[in-house]
């Protein structure tokens, strides 16, 4: 079975608590054929300490000012070398230690773009099973 190489990119700015959760989620994965990149916007809240503490589990990190999340995402894309990109931003976590393995090694995995669903830790917001253009129009205003 082919084990695609994945680049996981995390964008962070002044969210050290969320960053720590995200890092723990990624480094606990059973699927190990990935690189982990963290792009930090020159945080001042202790995020740099979290990055230094977890340096062994992070393949590439940079902490410098940027012009916003999309600028940071573009930095991550340029630094990534994987066949696939996964953006898992600061505060986001994977659902269990087999999350990467479950979708990357799934027999029906053939897509160029994969959309994952999400859950809220403490919220009750519900999203439809099938996302339509109308949903995106209504929910982004």
Sequence-distant (6+) residues with CB within 8 A of 6 are 31, 33, 34, 35, 82, 83, 84, 85, 86, 100, 104
Residue 108 domain-assigned (yes or no): yes
More confident residue, 74 or 99: 74
Q: What is the pLDDT of residues 107-127, one digit of tens each?
A: 777 766 666 666 666 655 555
Mean pLDDT for the stretch of residues 86-96? 91
65-to-43, 59, 92, 112 alpha-carbon distances in Å: 8, 20, 22, 31
Q: What is the mean pLDDT of the segment spanning 13-27?
A: 97
Q: Tell me: the pLDDT tens digits for 25-78?
A: 999 999 999 999 999 999 999 999 999 999 999 999 999 999 999 999 999 999
Q: Write down the pLDDT at residue 118.
A: 60
- CATH number, domain of 28, equals 3.90.550.10
Beta bridge partners of 7: 35, 85
Mean pLDDT of 14-27: 97
Mean pLDDT of 75-85: 95
The answer as to whether 40 is a domain residue is yes
Neighbouring C-beta atoms of residue 31, cutoff 10 Å = 18
The strand ranges marked E within 6-106 are 6-12, 34-40, 60-63, 84-87
Name the residue range of residue 131's domain. 6-139
> What is the number of structural domains in the chain?
1
36 in a domain, yes or no?
Answer: yes
**What is the pLDDT at residue 140?**
55
Cα–Cα nearest to 34, from 97, 104, 112: 104
Backbone dihedral region of 91: left (phi > 0), alpha (psi from -120 to 50 degrees) or beta? left
Please tell me the predicted confidence (pLDDT) of residue 119: 60
Listed in sequence order, the residues at least 6 apart from 71 whose beta carbon sits closer than 8 Å to its beta carbon are none
Is 72 within 8 Å of 10 (Cβ atoms)?
Answer: no
- Given a cut of 60, whether residue 141 has pLDDT beyond it is no
Residue 1 located in a structural domain: no
Kindly state whether residue 21 falls inside one of the protein's structural domains: yes
Model confidence at 104: pLDDT above 60: yes
Report the C-alpha gap between 62 and 141 in whole angstroms: 33
Is the pLDDT reported for residue 134 higher than 80? no
């Amino acid at each position: 079975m082919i084990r695609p190489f994945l680049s996981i990119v995390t964008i962070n700015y002044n969210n050290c608590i969320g960053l720590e959760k995200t890092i723990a989620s990624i480094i606990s994965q059973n699927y190990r054929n990935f690189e982990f990149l963290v792009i930090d916007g020159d945080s001042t809240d202790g995020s740099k300490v979290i990055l230094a503490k977890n340096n062994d589990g992070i393949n590439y990190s940079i902490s410098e000012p940027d012009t916003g999340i999309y600028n940071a995402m573009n930095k991550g894309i340029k630094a990534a070398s994987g066949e696939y990109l996964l953006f898992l931003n600061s505060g986001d976590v994977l659902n269990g230690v087999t999350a990467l393995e479950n979708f990357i090694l799934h027999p029906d995995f053939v897509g160029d773009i994969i959309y994952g669903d999400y859950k809220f830790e403490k919220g009750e917001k519900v999203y439809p099973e099938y996302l339509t253009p109308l949903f995106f129009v209504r929910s982004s205003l």
